Structure 1
Amino acid sequence: MLSRRTALGLMASVFIPGPARLLADDREPAFLEPLLKSGMLPKVADRLPKKPRIVNLAAKDRKPGRHGGTVRTLIGSQKDIRLMTINGYARLVGYDDKLNMIPDILESFEVSGERVFTFRIREGHKWSDGSPLTPEDFRYCLEDVWLNKELSPGGPITALRVDGRPPRFEIIDPLTVRYSWDAPNPDFLPKLASAQALSLVLPSAYLKQFHKTYQDAFRLSGLMKEYQARKWTELHIRMSRQYRPENPELPTLDPWRNTTAPPAEQFVFERNPYFHRIDENGLQLPYIDRFILNVSSSSIIAAKTGAGESDLQCFGIDFPDYTFLKDAEKRYPVKVHLWKRTQGSRVALLPNLNCNDAVWKPLLRDVRMRRALSLAINRREINKAVFYGLAKESADTVLPESPLYRPEFAEAWIAHDPAKANALLDEIGLRTRDDDGLRLLPDGRTAQIIVESAGEGTLETDVLELVTDHWRQIGIALFIRPSQRDVFRSRAMAGQIMMSIWSGIDNGVPTADMNPDQLAPTADEQLQWPLWGVYYLSHGKIGEPPDLPEVIELMSLLRRWRRSVDSRERTEIWTSMLSIYTDQVFSIGIVNATLQPIVASTRLRNLPDKGLYGFDPTSYLGVYMPDTFWLGGEP
């Protein structure tokens, strides 16, 4: 019997007819006309795979569009060109807007027991430079990059390991590759579909010139000097970076390719003439010819957006900007849409269980302290004051849009109950107070919690100012310390932060088939337990192993999920992990289901008026397919 994933994979490829009936030479984008006339580019029928992916827009209640136009957007730094990779959302397999997994770059995929994954490449599929996509590109990525001890000294990432071992790789035929493990790897496909996708395929014909196995030492040395790289590994990593596409020469499978080398104040992404999708009328996607990304200070992106300097903006703006942006509709041809954010909590307070303060560390590890801090917060006041009452007061957990949602998880320790919070703190032993009513710690210090932030917006400060008053009522002083993101994270790793404010769990709309690793220490960026997270990431080489019983249980459940091939068992595991996570208040959630402004030109078509907005699993705009957005006339 076929697994659910296999059935979906095959079903999504069955309806694709041959392109000959759909394609015609006059359907070429005018943008490509100079290249076509010069003979530098073949006709569209020769650029597309034999079986391109057909996107039926009418079935999505959208309208087929037309080619052309430029869209401007604003970014906070050159690193944010990664947004084009996230929003472009070309994946081997990916989610649709209902979060079903379907083949995209692949023609089809087949899964057996979550152990064997067989991928079928679209015949005639090409990289953006016209070179063929072949099984060699898959082999090169695994064997010459992930398994190369110089390029990947820590070995392949966790999604490519089962019991510490990488997959067996086979080239079945010129269009088929297979990855297999001896035990289940249910995380493999979701990681391929994620916003920061697992890299599994690289343009080997281009990259071999930078790899010491394929390039002679003299020429490689010359390339290192040309690109100012100290080591060949540094050169290869720089030239092969896909997620943040800073190398304009790197072939891509994305709908748009970067044409600008950094440093720059403006990055231009132009259509990929070999992109593999078409609409039901035979027009090759994307519709839009070009995206121009203008680098701006993050602090003034909202002001520039409100001044009509962006045609599509979701980055750098937030709900507090809504009224200002809405007012801009009167002056500029823009429309403000409101999408629902998918985080488990829009802002969350994260007690650092790995902090190195000898007094605060055991206090923060005491669940009574975390529960008391949560119970003291008046979420209704925060909701009304900061979010106009439009958010949902909740613990840091999944949203009702997730089949894993349970009301008891959302309601865990969120009732505003200062009396109970005070009783819990008394029970811990913090009974003595100073003349100002602040509790005294066992070493005689006043109970002062410094909450650190990345200092990237006013929303966090607005929330913390209210929490300051709430905690003062239970004898805890709160002080805010803004920082810069890089410094902020390094201080957390060093144990110098006792508590931080960030967003809650990234994926608030998971299914049981998605990895629950966000509920356990699996990454150094999880600010409530960064040393435990880096221990997991490094396979025990650095960091510290968890020593809190409930966290150890979360890790045990996560290992069970990774072994599971049964959806019912995965649901049970998710439910257990959500129960522990919310009951133990490892993250102090405030509100979720908050609204995210999306500002778009009134000429932009096929952008949904409502949607789910988040990094994973929706890849911001990604699952709504920006390659199908198009520019019409004035409305």
Structure 2
Amino acid sequence: MNVNSLLPVVNNDSSANAQIISLMFRPLLWIGTNLTIDWKESIAKSVSVSANRRTFTIYLKNWKWSDGRTVTANDTLACLHLIRKAGVRYPNAGMGGMPNIVESAKVVNQRTLIITLKRPVNPTWFELNGLSQLFPIPSWRWKAYSTNDLYRLQDNPAMVTVVDGPYKLQRFTLGRNISFVRNPEYSGSRPPLRTLSFTMVTSDANAFWALKSGKLQVGMIPHYLYAARGMVNNLRTCVSNGGYGFNYIALNFTNPSVAFLRNVRVRQALSLAINQEQIIQVAFHGLGVPGFNPVPTNPDTYLSPEMKHLVAYPDLAFQPEKAKELLREAGWRTGKGGIRFKDGHRLGFTMMVPDTSQTLVAVAELLQSDWEKIGVDLRLRMMPFNLELAKMHPKGKWDSSMIVWSYNPDYYPSGDGIFNTNGGTNYGGYSNSLMDQLIRDSTEKNGLNFLYQYENYAYEQQPVIFLPYPEYIVKYSQDLSHEQVREALYSVDCVPGNK
């Protein structure tokens, strides 16, 4: 993936850009791999919440910019102002209620900022999904630039000569490579790597050969090259959880040609017919975890007890005979060739699949086989990922689409924006009043029980069809320590292993 932005806020929020930016600019709240605030790595020292759950008082540490200036509450407020000015161009608009949920924000002193919201909220939700979006920015340097200027200059190295993160930019060649050197003025823990360089390559296969030849010291082994892992046996191994997210199939509820997808029994049947364990073993080579709802399995910080039980016993969710029964109850009868019919309509639809991943193609073919066994005709349409995204909007003519959701910066997986009516990334136009209420409760009411109610209902309703989530083998040089590899991967939870 190419890096094409160096600045917080004014970027397209791709995972590559987000990870690179976090090397240079530290967010107000650093969210650790267990999906809770890591205060040691955060610029904020603490956050206090008023009794009415509307006012958040943020206290900053004594943190420094790389030129020796102090990181101030005004620098944080400047980020909030930039988010407001970016408007609809800001890719995370609406997540965590930002920025419209903020009624007022004022600086008390150099290290104290008070943010008051328009309504009471679940504090955990707002901290993990709202405040996590704030990066102090060097406002005294950027104040001469308009928002349009910042978008235009987002890939200009001259804009990031002053940073507050663990690394400073050393060299950047657009589309080719980017390298960093340790920031000697960094206020946090001293990073273990003196230099850190990334190479942008055109394919997984090219990255594999660069790793084998020694041009790369750290690299991922794609699933379709799993059998070739022995060619890099000279390298150490760890396993990455692939980030915090979930795989799913979006369904177009606004397309009349697949109106049958609006029937919850049909969606439940599709889910019960999926052999997730087979997908993990065949497509992911045993590297993956089951996924039955929009709250990720690994780590299971916010997974409900019911969903944890289902993950531990995935066969409970694989019941093809029950799937057939549900389809019969919905009026679908087996016809010619084993495919079901109802009122003269064939039970079939098309699924868009990104052609950039051979692994996803393999998953799609396994799904095709699973659903054929219960009388569903799935047609696959491979296409470039960007074209797939361009087609995915309510009222579009697509049927279904395979996609991945990554929770960043919405680390508290409440579902706002994804499955609520008119949500910004509710691609299929799903609408359910109870789902809307459960999502609101998870963001407004204090306690995990409200999140649990939402995710359990999502499993029951299947607003999308949930799929297993892959893990990845990462190979790295014998010359690197595990701590250094974690630093290189940075936001990836890398666990030692010999798989």
* TM-score scaled by length of structure 1: 0.65
Asked if 1:234 is matched to 2:138, the reply is: no
**Aligned equivalents of 1:544, 1:368: Cα separation in 2:** 18
- What is the CA deviation profile of residues 319-351 of structure 1, one whole-angstrom value per residue up to 9, with x for unaligned ones? 443442343023xxx212123346565x43332
**Aligned equivalents of 1:338, 1:82: Cα separation in 2:** 21
Task: Give, as a single letter, the amino acid of the residue that structure 2 aligns with 1:137.
Answer: D
Task: Give, as a single letter, the amino acid of the residue that structure 1 aligns with 2:152.
Answer: R
- What is the CA deviation profile of residues 78-97 of structure 1, one whole-angstrom value per residue up to 9, with x for unaligned ones? 46344323567833222345
Asked if 1:598 is matched to 2:474, the reply is: yes
The Cα shift of 1:98 comes to: 4.7
Pairs within 5 Å for 1:99-178: 99-103=35-39, 104-106=41-43, 108-113=45-50, 114-123=53-62, 125-143=63-81, 145-148=82-85, 151-152=86-87, 157-158=93-94, 161=97, 164-178=100-114
User: Which residue is equivalent to 1:477?
Assistant: 377
Structure 1 residues 276 and 377, CA, compared in 2 at 3 Å: closer, same or farther? same
The Cα shift of 1:596 comes to: 1.6
**Aligned equivalents of 1:366, 1:289: Cα separation in 2:** 57
User: Which residue is equivalent to 1:573?
Assistant: 450
Task: Give, as a single letter, the amino acid of the residue that structure 2 aligns with 1:255.
Answer: P
Residue in structure 1 matching 2:402, options 501, 508, 524: 501
**Aligned equivalents of 1:553, 1:88: Cα separation in 2:** 42
Structure 1 residues 580 and 531, CA, compared in 2 at 3 Å: closer, same or farther? closer
| Contact 1:90/1:254 (8 A) holds in 2 | yes
User: Which residue is equivalent to 1:433?
Assistant: 335
Residue in structure 2 matching 1:180, options 101, 116, 119: 116
User: Which residue is equivalent to 1:14?
Assistant: none
Q: Secondary structure at the match of 2:350?
A: strand
Asked if 1:621 is matched to 2:497, the reply is: no
Q: Secondary structure at the match of 1:210?
A: coil
Structure 1 residues 130 and 482, CA, compared in 2 at 3 Å: closer, same or farther? farther
User: Which residue is equivalent to 1:60?
Assistant: none
Aligned-CA RMSD value: 3.7
Structure 1 residues 154 and 269, CA, compared in 2 at 3 Å: closer, same or farther? closer
The Cα shift of 1:452 comes to: 0.9
| Contact 1:452/1:481 (8 A) holds in 2 | yes
**Aligned equivalents of 1:158, 1:310: Cα separation in 2:** 38
Asked if 1:294 is matched to 2:192, the reply is: no
The Cα shift of 1:587 comes to: 3.2
Pairs within 5 Å for 1:37-436: 75-76=1-2, 78=4, 80-86=16-22, 90-103=26-39, 104-106=41-43, 108-113=45-50, 114-123=53-62, 125-143=63-81, 145-148=82-85, 151-152=86-87, 157-158=93-94, 161=97, 164-181=100-117, 183-185=119-121, 186=123, 187-191=125-129, 197-211=132-146, 233-239=147-153, 241=154, 247-250=157-160, 251-260=162-171, 263-278=174-189, 285-300=190-205, 301-314=207-220, 317-330=221-234, 334-341=235-242, 345=246, 347-354=247-254, 356=255, 358-360=256-258, 362-389=259-286, 391-396=288-293, 397-399=295-297, 401-402=300-301, 404-406=304-306, 407=308, 409-410=310-311, 415-431=317-333, 433-434=335-336, 436=337
Which runs of 5 or more residues in structure 2 are unaligned?
Answer: 6-15, 495-499
**Aligned equivalents of 2:136, 2:173: Cα separation in 1:** 24
Which runs of 5 or more residues in structure 1 are unaligned?
Answer: 1-74, 212-232, 279-284, 524-528, 537-542, 612-617, 626-635
Structure 1 residues 326 and 274, CA, compared in 2 at 3 Å: closer, same or farther? farther
Structure 1 residues 557 and 163, CA, compared in 2 at 3 Å: closer, same or farther? farther
- What is the CA deviation profile of residues 10-29 of structure 1, one whole-angstrom value per residue up to 9, with x for unaligned ones? xxxxxxxxxxxxxxxxxxxx
For these two proteins, the number of residue pairs brought into alignment is 469
Task: Give, as a single letter, the amino acid of the residue that structure 2 aligns with 1:576.
Answer: Q
User: Which residue is equivalent to 2:13?
Assistant: none
**Aligned equivalents of 1:160, 1:344: Cα separation in 2:** 17
Task: Give, as a single letter, the amino acid of the residue that structure 2 aligns with 1:101.
Answer: I
The Cα shift of 1:364 comes to: 0.8
The Cα shift of 1:269 comes to: 2.2
| Contact 2:179/2:195 (8 A) holds in 1 | yes
| Contact 1:246/1:258 (8 A) holds in 2 | no
Structure 1 residues 501 and 276, CA, compared in 2 at 3 Å: closer, same or farther? same
Q: Secondary structure at the match of 2:30?
A: strand
User: Which residue is equivalent to 2:465?
Assistant: 588
The Cα shift of 1:378 comes to: 3.0
| Contact 1:88/1:622 (8 A) holds in 2 | no
The Cα shift of 1:129 comes to: 4.1
Structure 1 residues 190 and 77, CA, compared in 2 at 3 Å: closer, same or farther? closer
Structure 1 residues 309 and 458, CA, compared in 2 at 3 Å: closer, same or farther? same
**Aligned equivalents of 1:208, 1:159: Cα separation in 2:** 26
The Cα shift of 1:265 comes to: 1.6
**Aligned equivalents of 2:224, 2:357: Cα separation in 1:** 10
**Aligned equivalents of 2:192, 2:381: Cα separation in 1:** 45
The Cα shift of 1:352 comes to: 2.8
**Aligned equivalents of 1:343, 1:162: Cα separation in 2:** 21
Q: Percent identity?
A: 18
**Aligned equivalents of 2:389, 2:275: Cα separation in 1:** 28
Structure 1 residues 252 and 89, CA, compared in 2 at 3 Å: closer, same or farther? closer
Task: Give, as a single letter, the amino acid of the residue that structure 1 aligns with 2:54.
Answer: R
Structure 1 residues 93 and 389, CA, compared in 2 at 3 Å: closer, same or farther? closer
Task: Give, as a single letter, the amino acid of the residue that structure 1 aligns with 2:163.
Answer: T
Q: Secondary structure at the match of 2:422?
A: helix
